[in-house]
Structure 1
Amino acid sequence: MKAAGSIEVPVPGLPVTPRSVPRRVLLASTIGSAIEWYDFYLYSTASALVLGPLFFPSQSPTAGTLASFATYAAGFVARPLGGVIFGHFGDRIGRKSMLVLTLLIMGVATFLVGVLPTYKQAGIAAPILLVSLRVVQGIGIGGEWGGGVLMSGEHAPANRRGLYASFPASGFPLGLFASTAMFRLVSQLPSDALLSWGWRLPFLASIVLVAIGVFVRLGVAESPEFVRVQQAGERVRVPLAGVLRQGPVPVLRGGFASLGLAMIVSVYSVYLLSYASSGPATAHRSEVLNGLLIGALVEAVLLPVTGLLSDRYGRRPVLLFGYAVCALVGLVAPQWLTSGDRTLVILTFVLAMGIGHAAVYGAISAFLIDMFPPEHRYSALAITYQLGATVASFGPLVAAALAGATRTAVPGMCLLWGCLVAAAIAVAVGKVDLPGARPPQAEGTPEQTGQQPAPASVD
């Protein structure tokens, strides 16, 4: 215990970080991440429920669904671009400023979706504007994910990186829960009211959340690992070039691992949501939304647990467990979601999203961080993760196109299983820590471990 009146003497060359700073960073990263995922997944839910008839009404029901899913995918196509842009400046300028900027970009784009004219009001300009804003959202979220997990993971003690990095990951289920809850609420409106103005409310509410998120993020400290790189003069002119020089194996391995993670979301929260709330199952739409809500809440609770388990038992077994759970649930998910049985609907999302996806998402952040050195880590995480997410975003579109007018979920589930197998292989083979990476060690100096040095005290 430090004596009263003692003075903290900083260790030369290293930033002094009060013990409360990591907690503030965790809070800021989690809140900001939740708001950005709320913004991003508002469109996911809306694309499955209302955007087809509003922006693509001249199409047949099948073509309208395809067009809506294509716009959903457009946001993911833009994510690698956002990853390149914000990863570059995040490695050059700092993590904190990029996180504030991505939050502003996402919030403004989401708010503007809420004021868009529909096809009936503006004709072809309406879907063009919708796609444009979706692309802007994709650019914003492309830079958000890597920065959020880095701010937490790089503030973490060496043996708690999985736990710390899992907190901003909790923003995903919280954002998914909030966006689903908002649409669950407005879906209680009469159909005419929902399609005329009710669908706009969740998008318009985003601007309030963004203001809160920006305020919180402005008050956090910069990543200590970035500060060390900056002070040591180790920043590289083109971080992406450093990623490429490290070789293709880490990028491919991280990309396939992320593909499995993202395909779980695309299939369970978008494709199957649309499948279960159309055709004969339309009457069960509210049950499906309730199940997704409960699954998201369970995931938010379990994510820190799975991150902690990855610290104790390793990233690999936790990731493989999560992939296996989601693959097994896929064998029965289409039948359970259209059964009309509330228990089976809830169980589907609790198992797939609450447990399986939580295991993957809780471990993958630290898994990726450990593979790359800090001087180009933001760029590396943004590229590997966004490549996998972009490919997975086409899952609902491809599955719906293969199914055509036939009411079958087989194409979607086959895509899910193929991606999960590829992800599991990428995680299982090779070294846990790839050559060229500088993962934290349990023992060593603060420079080796990434831990904050204890400040010296003099009385």
Structure 2
Amino acid sequence: MTHPVESAPPTREVDPREVRRIAFSAFIGTALEWYDFFLFGTASALVFQHVYFSGSSPIVATMASFATFGVGFLARPLGGVLFGAMGDRWGRKPTLIVSIVAIGLATGLVGCLPTSASIGLAAPILLTCLRLLQGVAVGGEWGGATTLALEHAPPEKRGRYAALVQIGSPAGTLLSSGAFALVFLLPDASVDSWGWRLPFLAAFPFLGIALWIRLQVEESPVFQQAEREAEGGGEGEAARGSFVDLFRHHGVKVLWASCASLVGIGGFFVMSTYALSYGTSVLGIERQSMVNATVIAAVGQILINVGFGRLAEKIGAHRVVIGGGLASAILAWPLWILMDTANIVAITVAIVLGLAVVTISYSVVGVLITHMFPSRVRYMGMAISVNIAGAISGLLPFIATWLNSFYEEQSSTPAILILVVISLVTVLGGYFGSRHHTEDEVLVTEKPAA
């Protein structure tokens, strides 16, 4: 079966203000997504083992906490399928509104959840259910936000707009780490009893702001063109795509796009969530000091996103992805050697550099993936690819903790090996992904000069 060649949308003059508004909306959504997800990661590393899994040994409690954290990532590919199908069939904008509401509600409700001391086994079960809902909703957020932003952006500026969407990650990290840094100023007993809830409850007002901003944006012109074609029936209906279409005709692209995304997501959780747990439980560093390190690192991530977004416009997104993967592999061992000094200054340097180097690939992977899929399956292709990488990434802190259980004295070796492997996988994804560039010019182009 052959598919019709997609016709390009009518050329139109790009309104810079409109593009910036769309990109800012995508940034806000991504910031809320990562605020919510990193809140759960921080709480999993530092709090949940005390309030939901306190009846187990320390290492079992930590593993159970990280398993709950990982469940959200396992749910993300399902979210990619569900929201991807909605986004390619019903529109990018309404789908993104549904996803952001679900994310905010799931996160806020975690802050209302009773502990195991109050309702027993039901507490961790409900926590896992909310994490599953959060994971499904987040599964449709990034792919749609990036698709919407880049389908509005002029070709020569896609690197910077992709980077702006990605800045939502460190911005969300900054907000969540900052929130927990304030919480950890409280006495430990207050933190474990009620203080940890405050950052989760803050998701409710954040949701209101994000929803208001997202309601102001316009639908993607690429989707609007596909809608006009589909209204005529016949071949135009193929422009909507499907899950079967994606994997029958673009399955290899999904593989390489997932690989290209791996270190940007997985490396982040190795150098943040797992590093937080390792620093506090193995090295004996105070929780406050570890969270402060992630706050500083988030500022560095913003600068990395901006700089490498511009660089990708000059040398190509795939070269930035490949270079970031190589740099992450090379620096994995030195970074964890710094961690093992148990010196808070050295640890802070390791976390800042570690999160900076894994952000290089992350900053522009959206550009690479956007150009791999035609518009009829773009939302779904991006969402599923990134969330396959996310599902793997969410299990990495659990896997590292599990591997460490085989050592008489806990070691940084599992973290080093994991970081090297996912970095090299990203190098392969960047290289082969660039060889699957789609040439159906369905992204908005500048109006030719008169």
- Give the TM-score, by structure 2 length: 0.92
Contact in 2 for aligned 1:16/1:455 (Cα 8 Å): no
Match of 1:30 in 2: 27
Please state if 1:61 is matched with 2:61.
no
Over residues 240-293 of structure 1, what are the superposed CA-to-partner deviations in whole Å (9 max), with x where a residue is unaligned?
22212324321111111122222201211111110011134233x333222211
Match of 1:176 in 2: 173
Over residues 9-47 of structure 1, what are the superposed CA-to-partner deviations in whole Å (9 max), with x where a residue is unaligned?
xxx966776432111111111112111210111000000
Contact in 1 for aligned 2:320/2:361 (Cα 8 Å): yes
Letter in 2 for 1:101: V
Letter in 1 for 2:329: A
Q: Give, in angstroms, the shift of residue 161 of structure 1.
A: 1.5
Q: Secondary structure at the match of 2:140?
A: helix
Letter in 1 for 2:339: L
Match of 1:201 in 2: 198
Q: Percent identity?
A: 34
Q: Give, in angstroms, the shift of residue 226 of structure 1.
A: 1.3
Letter in 2 for 1:267: V
Please state if 1:80 is matched with 2:77.
yes
Change (3 A) 1:235 1:416: farther
Query: Bigger shift: 365-374 or 294-303?
Result: 294-303
Match of 1:89 in 2: 86
Please state if 1:299 is matched with 2:296.
no
Change (3 A) 1:372 1:295: same
Contact in 2 for aligned 1:235/1:375 (Cα 8 Å): no
Contact in 2 for aligned 1:299/1:357 (Cα 8 Å): no
Letter in 2 for 1:124: L
Contact in 2 for aligned 1:372/1:439 (Cα 8 Å): no
Over residues 313-352 of structure 1, what are the superposed CA-to-partner deviations in whole Å (9 max), with x where a residue is unaligned?
0122211221222223321333323434344223222322
Match of 2:390 in 1: 389
Contact in 1 for aligned 2:83/2:95 (Cα 8 Å): yes
Please state if 1:211 is matched with 2:208.
yes
Match of 2:365 in 1: 364
Contact in 2 for aligned 1:41/1:179 (Cα 8 Å): yes
Contact in 1 for aligned 2:263/2:358 (Cα 8 Å): no
Paired with 1:32 and 1:427, the residues of 2 have a C-alpha distance of 26
Paired with 1:308 and 1:334, the residues of 2 have a C-alpha distance of 30
Match of 2:120 in 1: 123
Over residues 391-411 of structure 1, what are the superposed CA-to-partner deviations in whole Å (9 max), with x where a residue is unaligned?
121111111111116311211
> Please, which runs of 5 or more residues in structure 2 have no aligned partner?
1-8, 231-235
Query: Bigger shift: 28-37 or 327-336?
Result: 327-336
Contact in 2 for aligned 1:337/1:348 (Cα 8 Å): yes
Q: Secondary structure at the match of 1:115?
A: coil
Q: For 2:447, which of 432, 449, 453 is the aligned residue? A: 453
Over residues 183-231 of structure 1, what are the superposed CA-to-partner deviations in whole Å (9 max), with x where a residue is unaligned?
1110111111111100000000110110000000000011111112222
Paired with 1:377 and 1:37, the residues of 2 have a C-alpha distance of 22
Paired with 1:305 and 1:95, the residues of 2 have a C-alpha distance of 28
Change (3 A) 1:370 1:433: farther
Contact in 2 for aligned 1:15/1:224 (Cα 8 Å): no
Q: Secondary structure at the match of 1:56?
A: coil
Please state if 1:259 is matched with 2:301.
no
Alignment of 1:262-341 (within 5 A): 262-283=265-286, 285-341=287-343
Paired with 1:316 and 1:158, the residues of 2 have a C-alpha distance of 15
Q: For 1:424, which of 422, 427, 431 is the aligned residue? A: 427
Query: Bigger shift: 254-263 or 195-204?
Result: 254-263
Match of 1:240 in 2: 243
Over residues 372-405 of structure 1, what are the superposed CA-to-partner deviations in whole Å (9 max), with x where a residue is unaligned?
1111100000111111110121111111111116
Contact in 2 for aligned 1:329/1:348 (Cα 8 Å): no
Alignment of 1:143-158 (within 5 A): 143-158=140-155
Contact in 2 for aligned 1:72/1:393 (Cα 8 Å): yes
Letter in 2 for 1:271: Y
Paired with 2:189 and 2:279, the residues of 1 have a C-alpha distance of 22
- Give the TM-score, by structure 1 length: 0.90
Letter in 1 for 2:375: P
Letter in 1 for 2:399: V
Paired with 1:344 and 1:53, the residues of 2 have a C-alpha distance of 28
Letter in 2 for 1:314: G
Q: How many equivalent residue pairs?
A: 435
Letter in 2 for 1:304: V
Change (3 A) 1:231 1:303: same
Paired with 2:317 and 2:11, the residues of 1 have a C-alpha distance of 29
Letter in 1 for 2:138: I
Change (3 A) 1:431 1:402: closer
Contact in 1 for aligned 2:270/2:419 (Cα 8 Å): yes
Letter in 1 for 2:447: P
Paired with 2:248 and 2:447, the residues of 1 have a C-alpha distance of 31
Q: Give, in angstroms, the shift of residue 134 of structure 1.
A: 0.3
Q: Give, in angstroms, the shift of residue 160 of structure 1.
A: 1.7
Change (3 A) 1:349 1:431: closer
Q: Which structure shows the higher helix fraction? A: 2
Query: Bigger shift: 418-427 or 170-179?
Result: 418-427
Paired with 2:440 and 2:352, the residues of 1 have a C-alpha distance of 33
Change (3 A) 1:20 1:136: same
Paired with 1:296 and 1:393, the residues of 2 have a C-alpha distance of 19
Match of 1:3 in 2: none
Query: Bigger shift: 294-303 or 100-109?
Result: 294-303
Match of 2:132 in 1: 135
Q: Please provide the CA RMSD for this pair.
A: 2.1
Q: Give, in angstroms, the shift of residue 309 of structure 1.
A: 1.0
Paired with 1:454 and 1:97, the residues of 2 have a C-alpha distance of 31
Please state if 1:353 is matched with 2:355.
yes
Paired with 1:22 and 1:52, the residues of 2 have a C-alpha distance of 44
Contact in 2 for aligned 1:326/1:351 (Cα 8 Å): no
